[in-house]
Homo-oligomer: A and B are copies of this chain.
Amino acid sequence: MTPNKENFIKAIYELGGDHSVISNKKLVKNLSISAASVTEMNARLLKENLISHVPYRGVKLTASGIRIAHQLIRKHRIWEVFLSEKLGYNWNEVHADADLLEHVSSDLLIERLNDFLDEPEFDPHGGVIPNKDGSLPETSAFPLTDVSTGRPFTIKEVDDDEEFLNYLLEKDIQLGDHYTLTDVESFDGPLTLETPEGRQILIGHKAAFKILVDYVV
């Protein structure tokens, strides 16, 4: 396993490759490499039985491919917790360094880091940290776009994308915040959220899709 292969598998996973076939096009865009390079990497991973391939359609992770993705994401997210909680990184700064560190982390290192951090369950963006064995803990959260008006909810997880996180910083939206949906414009228009204190926040439909929430009990 090399850093390149690991990143490639992670990209497939993050595009939904654990349950559906991902096109080369999507990987080209996500990884910023040429289409030819995607075809080549597919061939390599196919030989190692980490993906299944439907010619001219795309690829899907096998069970062992998914396990490797989960283990890499575990490393990534534990590093993000460390950078955020111990080194004072903002949540929009952690990703880049974690993306490098994840590839040079021995199991020993990750488990000791995990202990040092008191076995965190979530990364700074609310992403759940996979278990050591490569399984994924159960979580319940759904996109903000699916929330019903009037029923209070809380922010559970947000997209780990630097630009988007800056947008949330501007709007002062944080994990754990409580809101109520008061209005939705039709035709995928913006959503209006209200804080318990009565402050109104306007969120575009595309942004709302990158925010996962859950109802307050």
Seen from chain A, the residues whose Cβ lies within 8 Å of a Cβ on chain B are 83, 86-89, 93, 96-97, 100-101, 103-104, 106, 108-109, 112-113, 115-116
**Beta-carbon contact of A89 and B104 below 8 Å:** no
**Beta-carbon contact of B104 and A100 below 8 Å:** yes
Q: Would you list 9 pairs from A and B whose C-beta atoms are within 8 A, ordered by A residue? A: A83-B109, A86-B116, A87-B113, A87-B115, A88-B112, A89-B112, A93-B108, A97-B106, A97-B108
How many copies of this protein are present in the complex? 2
Residues on the B chain within 8 Å of A106, using CB: 96-97, 100
Residues on the B chain within 8 Å of A103, using CB: 104
| Bound CA span A211–B83, Å | 35
| Bound CA span A97–B101, Å | 11
For residue A3, give the distance in angstroms from its CB to the closest CB of chain B: 9
Given contacts A88-B112, A97-B106, 10 further A-B contacts (CB under 8 A): A83-B109, A86-B116, A87-B112, A87-B113, A87-B115, A97-B108, A100-B106, A101-B101, A103-B104, A104-B104
Cross-chain contact of A104 among B88, B101, B115 (Cβ < 8 A): B101
**Beta-carbon contact of A109 and B97 below 8 Å:** yes
| Bound CA span A107–B174, Å | 28
**Beta-carbon contact of A87 and B109 below 8 Å:** yes
Return the 5 tightest CB-CB contacts between A and B, nearest first: A100-B104, A87-B112, A97-B109, A104-B104, A87-B116
Residues on the B chain within 8 Å of A100, using CB: 104, 106
| Bound CA span A96–B103, Å | 14
- Minimum CB distance partner of A97 in chain B: B109
| Bound CA span A97–B109, Å | 8
For residue A113, give the distance in angstroms from its CB to the closest CB of chain B: 6
For residue A97, give the distance in angstroms from its CB to the closest CB of chain B: 5
| Bound CA span A167–B104, Å | 28
Residues on the B chain within 8 Å of A96, using CB: 106
Residues on the B chain within 8 Å of A83, using CB: 109
